Amino acid sequence: MSGDASAEVSVPTDLTVTSDGESEDGFAASRRHARELQALASDRAELQRTVEKQRLELQNKKAQIAAITAQNESAVASAIAQKDDIISAKQIQANRLEAELVRTREELSTIKERAARELAQLAQKCATFQETQKKLTFRHEELRSSLTNLQISESEYNRLRRVSAQQLTLQQFTALRVYELVWPLKIKVNELETVKSSLESSLAAKDLDLKARSDQCRKQQQELEDLRSKSEHYASQLLNLKEEQRSDDYKARNYHRVKSERDQLEGERETLTRKSTELELLVATLKKERSLLEERFGELKDINPWRQNMKRPSELQQPSLKKKPIVCWTECPQELVL
């Protein structure tokens, strides 16, 4: 492009000489043309500089583009390689996960089969358990009904005792053991019942005797009252006699009557003294017998605790004789002493 411009623009060297007017016009035109040529040369130089600058800038741009292209290609290659690595890693991971999934499916299938077998076994065990529970319930009802009556006779006990324990039923074995445990207690209870009956009869007889003696004591107390009144009457008579004794002829006149009355009073006093002694002995004997009966009754209550709340036969049969005889026993000696 610069060669073409230099070929086209040229500066003329020869000047045509003309007339003055034409020469001046031509000179001015040539000068103008020269200026134009100079301007064109200057523009051409400027244009060449601009072109050279643009060419240099273009080279720089091309170098930058080449560098950027190389960088981009390297980045693309690195990205492609990294992508390939990632894809390869993902593929490996996917293959591993697929293998694990297959293995998990196989294990799950195995677990399902084992769970199905265990569930079937569990269902069978539940059915067996329910059947066993029904049998045990039925057996329990049978045992309960069979154990309601465990009473056997002595002959049956002797017969069962000769049989081995393995051949006995549960009812027979239980009845045998209950009989062995209860029989000594039954014998002891029978003995205690016999002793109790004997003591009750003895106590009843003692109560009757005590009642009779209490009646006798009351009668004797009444007699003592009568004797006391008589004694008071005799005391008054004695005072009268003492008054009569003051007279001179009293002894001579009333000797036989006073002597007979004195003998009579002496005999009554001896009789009352003897009766008082007998009553005191009787009261002591009755107290001793009653204390012995109470001690025996207490021993029986200790031997047989399940009869502790049992009332005494005297309390059940003769409730009114508990205090009255004691009153007679305590009062009779006092009256006799008087």
Count of CB atoms within 10 A of residue 143's CB?
Answer: 14
71 falls within a domain? yes
Q: What is the rounded distance in angstroms from the CA atom of residue 47 to the CA atom of residue 1? A: 11
Which residue bears the tokens 């301007």? 39
Distance of CA 183 to the CA centre of its chain: 40
Helix, strand or coil, per DSSP, at residue 169? coil
| Cα radius of gyration rounded to whole Å, the chain | 79
Residues 181 and 311 in one domain: yes
In this structure, are 308 and 223 located in the same domain? yes
> Could you give the residue ranges of the DSSP H alpha helices within 147-169?
154-161
- Count up the domains in the chain and report the number: 2
Does the residue 183 lie in any domain? yes
Q: How far apart are CA 276 and CA 224, in angstroms?
A: 10
The burial class, CB within 10 Å (0-12 / 13-18 / 19+), for 44 is middle
Q: What is the DSSP letter of 168?
A: S
Report yes or no on 331 lying in a domain. yes
Are 195 and 280 in a shared domain?
yes
147 within domain boundaries: no
CA distance 45 to 226: 194
Structural domain ending residue among the three candidates 78, 105, 132: 105
Count CB-CB contacts under 10 A for residue 292. Answer: 11
- Long-range contacts (CB closer than 8 Å, 24 or more residues apart) made by 162-169: none
Range of the domain at 219: 174-229+256-337
Q: How many whole angstroms separate alpha carbon 123 and alpha carbon 125?
A: 5
Last residue of a domain, one of 82, 105, 128: 105
Helix, strand, coil fractions of the chain, as percent rounded to 5? 90, 0, 10
33/179 same-domain check:
no
CA dihedral 230, 231, 234, 235 (to 10 degrees): -140
Asked if 326 and 191 sit in the same domain, the reply is: yes
Domain assignment present for 127: no
- One digit per residue, the tens of pLDDT, for the chain of length 338 reads 444 444 444 444 444 444 555 667 777 788 888 888 888 888 888 888 888 888 898 888 888 888 888 888 888 888 888 888 888 888 888 888 888 888 888 988 899 898 888 888 988 988 898 888 888 888 778 777 766 777 777 788 788 777 877 777 777 787 778 888 888 888 888 888 888 888 888 888 888 888 888 888 788 788 878 887 887 887 888 787 777 666 655 556 666 777 787 788 888 878 888 887 888 888 888 878 878 877 877 777 666 554 444 444 334 333 333 333 433 333 333 333 33
With respect to residue 189, please indicate whether it lies within any of the assigned structural domains: yes
Both structure tokens of 87: 């894809």
- Residue whose structure tokens are 């067996």: 128
Q: Rounded distance, CA 317 to CA 73, Å?
A: 135
Say which DSSP state 311 is in. Answer: P
92 and 183 assigned to the same domain: no
Q: What is the pLDDT of residue 251?
A: 59
Residue 303: its pLDDT value, please? 63
Q: Are 329 and 215 within 8 A, CB to CB?
A: no
**Structure token pair of residue 34:** 């020269």
CB burial of residue 295 (10 Å; 0-12, 13-18, 19+): exposed
Q: What is the pLDDT of residue 10?
A: 47
| Domain match, 96 and 179 both | no
Print burial letters for 253-290: b (CB count within 10 Å at least 16), e (below 16).
eeeeebeeeeeebeeeeeebeebbeebeebbeebeeeb
Burial 223-246 (b: 16+ CB within 10 A, else e): ebeebeeebeebeeeeeebeeeee
Domain C-terminal end among 67, 88, 105:
105
Torsion sign across C-alpha atoms 161, 163, 165, 168: negative
Q: Is residue 37 in some structural domain?
A: yes
213 and 300 part of one domain: yes
Whether residue 242 is contained in a domain is answered as no
